[in-house]
Amino acid sequence: MSQDLLFQILVGAFVGAAAGYLGSFMVVKRMSLVGDAMSHVALPGIAVALSFGLSPMLGASIALVLAVVGVWYLQETSEIYPEALVGVFFTGSLALGILITPEAELLEALFGDIERITRLEGIIAIIFSVFILIIATVISKKLILGVISEELAKSTGVAISKINLVYLLLVGAIVALGVKFVGTLLMGALVIVPAASAKNISRGLIGYYLLSVLFGVLSAVTGVIVARNFNIATGPAVVLVSIFIFVLTYLFKTKSNEKTLVDIFSKKR
Amino acid sequence: MEPGILLRVKDLKVKFDHHVALDDISFEVKKGETLAVIGPNGAGKSVLFRALLGLIPYSGKIEWAEDIDVGYVPQRLAIAKDLPLTTEEFFALKEKNKKEVRNALTAVGFEEDKPHKGHLTHHVLKRKIGVLSGGELQRVLIAFALLGGPEVLLFDEPTSGVDVSSEETIYGLLHKLQEQKGLTMILISHELQVVYKYATTVICLNKEKVCFGPPREVLDRESLEKLYGGEVGYYRHG
């Protein structure tokens, strides 16, 4: 195995771990669409950065910070979460991004190209992934309490709106990191799918977190190796591996439903 | 604030956009009291609670006694059945000390080996919180509110989500808790029988304060008609 491949696998593992962990909150917060939509916002940012000769990752980050603040503002100021509005706004930015991205760079921006990742970019991705894992762990209890009930969380002194902002910023960060890895179109999947798979077969929170991270890492690592061996693009390979894991866990979930007969029985009393 | 007074509300007004949800509300709550908040749907009962908890903006004054710890039991939590969170982990979100959690569970009437051996551990604590029965969830939420030893408990409609057969036990339980822990209780209720039986004071709301005082004195025909618009019989079903 070449040193380059090893490095790519390492970067993929860290990004996959952080994406999976963040996804675990996104799935139970029922904001999967937001994750997907946010990944599209990166594109116009990349385009603008490229036309000014700046780093695409930087452009993506700036666009994402703006999007995060926008989503957060909508969440805080309206009683009903305007999901349709988010959908409209973000697909709009994807369309705009496709138009203004130089054609030579479009494919890479859309689907990523980990083979062209530099050492510096890789190391930055690893460091940021570790940061994301740490900060997400610090706010995890508050986030989950907010999932149960925002009012209950507030009544126990959790500044839920601040916590939501921090969380969205973390999502923005992981999307920016993943752009180089699986591309803007598919980064949402690397956040959502591992957690959705983990949810299929988890009973408790700790198992759910661990499986989300594990499936994220597994998808990324296997995807990179498969892509290299079959000479295909990395992004689609990573996402297809994660979908394969999802299908497996889904089948397992349906099968294990028989077990929960005990639960149904004891619930009926 | 004078000793013995836990909460003083003065000229409270809550507005959402151009819609006034609560207007001109003033009252006091003394230590050890049970205050029942009654009123028709849309009267602003839950809005009052959210204002008391500081969750929404309001004008006027809400003063709690100093250093007071308020426990809150929310109404009808719709927790997804497949949320990967066990009841045990839910408690750990607020309290790490397992002994404290056990104490709170005992206080709301859970026993480890009742109705059968290991019931509490295997059928409540280790299960997903989303699959608990309405009655179990309600008691779990009360236990959660009791963690940290609050002096006041705010309770949004104790009966909702509980099987009819166990309704009585929830109120009995609240009454017992109040006596054991010297808790002050503020609860929203739909049932007048319950208000008569357990509340020391009642506040009737219909966006404005319609009545306030001991239930037997203020809940006369006139104020009830003003409150519910002649549909008193319907609300008495209990």
Alpha-carbon distances of A54 from A60, A108, A125, A126, rounded to whole Å: 11, 16, 17, 21
Residue A267, Cβ density class (10 Å: 0-12 exposed, 13-18 middle, ≥19 buried): middle
Q: Span A210-224, mean pLDDT? A: 96
Report the C-alpha gap between A21 and A32 in whole angstroms.
13
- Picking from A210, A196, A206, A205, the residue whose alpha carbon sits closest to that of residue A250 is A196
- The whole-angstrom distance between A254's CA and the closest CA on chain B is 13
Which residues of A are less than 8 Å from B93 in CB distance?
A: 141, 144-145, 148
Residues of chain A with a CB closer than 8 angstroms to some CB in chain B: 28, 141, 144-145, 147-149, 151-152, 154-156, 198-199, 202-208, 263, 266-267, 269
- A265: pLDDT strictly greater than 50: no
Q: Span A56-69, mean pLDDT? A: 88
- For residue B57, the one-letter residue type is P
* A191 or B228, greater pLDDT: A191
Instruction: Rounding to the nearest 10 degrees, give the CA dihedral for residues A207, A209, A212, A217.
Output: -100
Which residues of B are less than 8 Å from A155 in CB distance?
A: 53, 55, 70, 72
Check: CB of residue A144 under 8 Å from CB of residue A205.
yes
What does the pLDDT look like over A194-216, one tens digit per residue? 999 999 999 899 999 999 999 99
Q: Span A116-135, mean pLDDT? A: 93
Residue with token string 């079903």: B237
Given this model, what pLDDT does residue B168 score? 53
Check: CB of residue B47 under 8 Å from CB of residue B22.
yes
Alpha-carbon distances of B24 from A201, B11, B209, B223, B224, rounded to whole Å: 52, 5, 7, 17, 19
- A268: pLDDT strictly greater than 60: no
- For residue A261, the one-letter residue type is L
* Partner-chain residue, chosen from A149, A152, A204, that has the shortest CB–CB distance to B84: A204
- Structural domains in chain B? 1-68+152-238 (3.40.50.300), 78-150 (no CATH)
Given this model, what pLDDT does residue B1 score? 74
- The whole-angstrom distance between B231's CA and the closest CA on chain A is 31
The SS3 of residue B14 is strand
Check: CB of residue A209 under 8 Å from CB of residue A21.
yes
- A266: pLDDT strictly greater than 50: no
Alpha-carbon distances of A46 from A126, A144, A180, A184, rounded to whole Å: 20, 33, 11, 10
Check: CB of residue A27 under 8 Å from CB of residue A37.
no
Please tell me the least confidently modeled range out of A32-41, B93-102, B125-134. A32-41
* Partner-chain residue, chosen from A28, A203, A269, that has the shortest CB–CB distance to B86: A203
Residues in B 33-72 with any Cβ partner in A closer than 8 A? 50, 53-55, 70, 72
Given this model, what pLDDT does residue B88 score? 94
- Picking from B7, B44, B30, the residue whose alpha carbon sits closest to that of residue B188 is B44
What's the whole-model pTM score?
Answer: 0.86
pLDDT class of A261 with cuts at 50, 70, 90: very low
The total of other beta-carbon atoms located within 10 Å of residue B173's CB is 18
Q: Span B80-85, mean pLDDT? A: 92
Mutate to test the interface with A, among B53, B56, B82, B83 (most CBs of A within 10 A): B83
Which residues of B are less than 8 Å from A263 in CB distance?
A: 127, 131
Q: Which residues contact B45 (CB under 8 A, 6 or more apart)?
A: B37, B38, B39, B156, B188, B205
Q: In this complex, do A152 and B70 lie within 8 Å of one another by their Cβ atoms? A: no
Which residues of A are less than 8 Å from B129 in CB distance?
A: 148
What is the Cβ-side half-sphere exposure of residue A154, based on CA atoms within 13 angstroms? 16
* Partner-chain residue, chosen from B54, B74, B123, that has the shortest CB–CB distance to A149: B74
H or E, element range at B140: helix B134-146
Q: In this complex, do A154 and B55 lie within 8 Å of one another by their Cβ atoms? A: yes
Work out whether strand B208-213 and strand B201-206 pair parallel, antiparallel, or are unpaired. Answer: antiparallel
Q: Span B174-194, mean pLDDT? A: 84
CATH top class, domain A3-268? mainly alpha
B74 touches chain A (CB under 8 A): yes
Q: Span A174-192, mean pLDDT? A: 88
Q: Span B125-134, mean pLDDT? A: 90
- The whole-angstrom distance between B50's CA and the closest CA on chain A is 8
Quick one: how many helices (H) and strands (E) in chain B?
A: 10, 9
Which residues of B are less than 8 Å from A269 in CB distance?
A: 133
The SS3 of residue B4 is coil
- A262: pLDDT strictly greater than 80: no
- B115: pLDDT strictly greater than 80: no
What does the pLDDT look like over B137-147, one tens digit per residue? 888 999 999 99
Alpha-carbon distances of A253 from A122, A201, A258, B149, rounded to whole Å: 36, 6, 9, 40
C-alpha B23: how far from chain center: 22
Given this model, what pLDDT does residue A126 score? 96
* Partner-chain residue, chosen from A144, A263, A269, that has the shortest CB–CB distance to B85: A144
pLDDT class of B162 with cuts at 50, 70, 90: low
* A182 or A86, greater pLDDT: A182
Mean pLDDT taken over chain A: 87
Give the best-scoring range by mean pLDDT among B24-33, B160-169, B216-225.
Answer: B24-33
Alpha-carbon distances of A148 from A161, A229, A268, rounded to whole Å: 15, 44, 24
What does the pLDDT look like over A6-35, one tens digit per residue? 999 999 999 999 999 999 999 998 887 777
Q: Span B197-218, mean pLDDT? A: 86
- Picking from A183, A209, A202, A14, the residue whose alpha carbon sits closest to that of residue A115 is A183
The ipTM (two decimal places) reads 0.83
